[in-house]
Amino acid sequence: MNRKPTRRQGRPPAFAYQPGRKGLLRRRSAENILHCDDVPLPRLGERFGTPLYVYSASAIRERVHAFDRAFRKVPHTLCYSVKANSNLGILRLLARMGCGFDVVSGGELERVLGADRRAAGKVVFSGVGKTADEMQAALKAGILLFNVESESELGTLAECAARLRKIARIALRVNPDVPANTHRYISTGLHQHKFGVRSGEARGLYARASGSEHLKIAGVSVHIGSQITEVAPFALAMERVAELVRDLRADGHRIDYVDAGGGLGISYEESASTEFSDSIAAYADALVKPLHGLKVHLLLEPGRAIVGAAGVLLTRVLYRKHNDGKKFVVVDAAMNDLLRPALYDAYHEIVPVRVDEPPSPLREKVDVVGPICETGDFFAHDRELPTVHEGDLLAILDSGAYGMVLASNYNTRTRPAEVLVEGKSVRVVRRRETVDDLLQLET
């Protein structure tokens, strides 16, 4: 009997190798094939072409349920962070599960409303540069909460609400000056960052907001960064938020919500050993303990933790190349399709879609690169992989978050299609672009 290769812990069971089958009697072949749910990835590559983003609905559901189980003892709402992956098919799936949404632009708000207009009442609007037009659209939609990030924004929001004769529910995003062990581009919780207001200024701004008949104080918000894999920074930030909540209530303000932000990381390393259920339990404990006795409704903004491991970027090997002993595997995906390695020097595990059984001992150290005319167009440097050949399929794992949303048309490359798999069902949730699509807005 063929042995299934060990699946790395921490990833949902959606992406796993299953024995290949062939022939009239469905005889097992001597290889294992990577599947998404019950669908073999080679079938998707043949049908939809490559590069191709493949998402698992079951993996997304499992992660949402894991959050709800971990926070079941406190009133809470999952406000999925749309910036992680804004595909309408995924937003509809999450809306049907009762999720709210965290948006950072008017465009993201329109996506949420397009997915399910009834979800507006569970939307929080974050971001340091909200325009008056965006504020007015959010007020008309009837969103749950504005996370206000500056004194100037507070004034603009009050003016917009007065103009529309609406009441804007607000929370100030407080910058707790808590360092997070993450990439400096995605750390947001220090005073040197552009986000939020200093804790020392918050009480004065809440007092100012209470003087406006068109602003309603409803909560306190915090967010210290993204891809954080230690829970201690979350606990420290929440301790400072809890202290502020007590001070604000002593000042006479009603605080119903604490928005804890997002930022919980996932494991991208194949050697990871921590199960997601353990990570989310520790995260929940870090957030909930400091809030004990405050009787607030907790808002959570997971993004990457929901969709990151639920997606892969499927790509085909175009060429093999040698330069004075240096080996390159050139694939048809590029930095315009998945920017994270070039932008953050981020690690993504890369695996062959077909593997021999038993596994071949032949391995080699290669650079996995794309076709774009940039040296920064790479997915891995000096990565040890099983030997692959031209025409083989590779899967770049954990690409469900900050993949397609960061894609571009650099080199006039068309962006990939996206498919959502659930069991044996496959649905195209974004068709592949054509060059005509790119040219039609130009004159």
The CATH number linked to 51 is: 2.40.37.10
Q: 204's torsion region: left (phi>0), alpha (psi -120 to 50) or beta?
A: alpha
Q: What mean pLDDT comes out for the span 84-112?
A: 98
Q: Is residue 75 part of a domain?
A: yes
The whole-number pLDDT of residue 229 equals 83
Give the CATH number, domain containing residue 86: 3.20.20.10
Asked if the model's pLDDT at residue 24 lies above 80, the reply is no
* CB < 8 Å & 24+ apart, contacts of 110-118: 110/137, 111/82, 111/86, 112/82, 113/141, 114/88, 115/88, 115/91, 116/91, 116/92, 117/141
Q: What is the pLDDT of residue 276?
A: 84
CA 16 to chain centroid, in Å, comes to 21
Round to whole Å and give the CA distance between 150 and 173.
8
Provide the 3-class DSSP secondary structure of residue 271: coil
* Residue 186 confidence (pLDDT) above 80: no
Q: Domain total for the chain? A: 2
Domain containing 328 equals 15-56+309-439
Beta strand ranges found along 222-362 (DSSP E): 257-259, 297-300, 311-323, 326-331, 350-352, 354-356
Among 307, 337, 366, where does a domain finish?
Answer: 307
Give per-residue pLDDT as tens, 393-404. 999 999 999 999
Neighbours of 355 (CB within 10 A): 17
Q: How far apart are CA 53 and CA 45, in angstroms?
A: 10
The answer on 92 and 223 residing in a single domain is yes
> In angstroms, how far is CA 83 from the centroid of its own chain?
7
> What SS3 class is residue 378?
strand
In a domain, 156, yes or no: yes
> Which residues are CB-contacts of 238 (< 8 A; sequence separation ≥ 6)?
222, 258, 260, 286, 287, 289, 290, 291
Strands 354-356 and 27-36: antiparallel
- 276 and 154 in a single domain? The answer is yes
- Position 286 confidence tier, pLDDT thresholds 50, 70, 90: very high
pLDDT at position 1, please?
35
Report CA dihedral (92, 96, 102, 104) to the nearest 10 degrees.
20
Q: Helical H runs in 7-87?
A: 41-48, 57-70
Residue 194 has pLDDT above 60, yes or no: no
- pLDDT digit string, tens, across residues 337-349: 999 999 989 999 9
373 in active site: yes
- Whether 146 and 92 share a structural domain: yes
pLDDT tens digit sequence for 105-161: 999 999 999 999 999 999 999 999 999 999 999 999 999 999 999 999 999 999 999
Q: What is the pLDDT of residues 65-74, one digit of tens each?
A: 999 999 999 9
What sections of 332-422 are H helices per DSSP? 340-344
- Asked whether residue 10 is assigned to any structural domain, the reply reads no
Main-chain dihedrals φ then ψ at residue 236, nearest 5 degrees = -65, -45
The confidence score (pLDDT) of residue 55 equals: 98
In the structure encoding, which two tokens stand for residue 72, read together? Answer: 């079941």
Question: Of 251, 276, 307, which residue sits at a domain end?
Answer: 307
Confidence of residue 226 (pLDDT cuts 50, 70, 90): confident
Q: Are residues 176 and 204 in the same domain?
A: yes
Q: What is the pLDDT of residue 189?
A: 38
Cβ(79)–Cβ(122) under 8 Å?
Answer: yes
| 149: in domain | yes
pLDDT tier, 377 (very low <50, low <70, confident <90, very high otherwise): very high
> Residue 60: what pLDDT?
97
Q: Are residues 224 and 373 in the same domain?
A: no
Chain-wide mean pLDDT for the chain? 90
Flag whether pLDDT at 419 surpasses 90.
Answer: yes
355-373 average pLDDT score = 89
Q: Could you tell me the pLDDT band of residue 95, with boundaries at 50, 70 and 90? A: very high
Q: Indicate whether 325 and 364 sit together in one domain.
A: yes
* Domain end residue (candidates: 307, 334, 358): 307
Look at residue 5 and tell me if it is in a domain: no
Which residues contact residue 81 at a Cβ distance below 8 angstroms, ignoring those fewer than 6 apart? 101, 102, 262, 301, 302, 303, 304
Contacts of residue 140, defined as CB under 8 A and 6 or more positions apart, other chains included, come to 164, 166
Give pLDDT, residue 116: 97
Q: What span, in angstroms and rounded, lies between the C-alpha atoms of 441 and 443?
A: 7
pLDDT at 155: 95
Residues 292 and 338 in one domain: no
In the predicted model, is pLDDT for residue 28 greater than 60? Answer: no
* 274 and 342 fall within a common domain: no
Do 190 and 333 share a structural domain? no
The catalytic position among 79, 99, 160, 373 is 373
Give yes or no for residue 183 having a pLDDT over 60. no
pLDDT digits (tens, 9 = 90+) for 288-325: 999 999 999 999 999 999 999 999 999 999 999 998 88
Question: Can you tell me the mean pLDDT for 89-107?
Answer: 98
> What tens digit of pLDDT does each residue of 239-259 get?
999 999 999 999 999 999 999
CB 317, CB 57: distance < 8 Å: no
Instruction: Place 9 in a pLDDT band, splitting at 50, 70 and 90.
Output: low
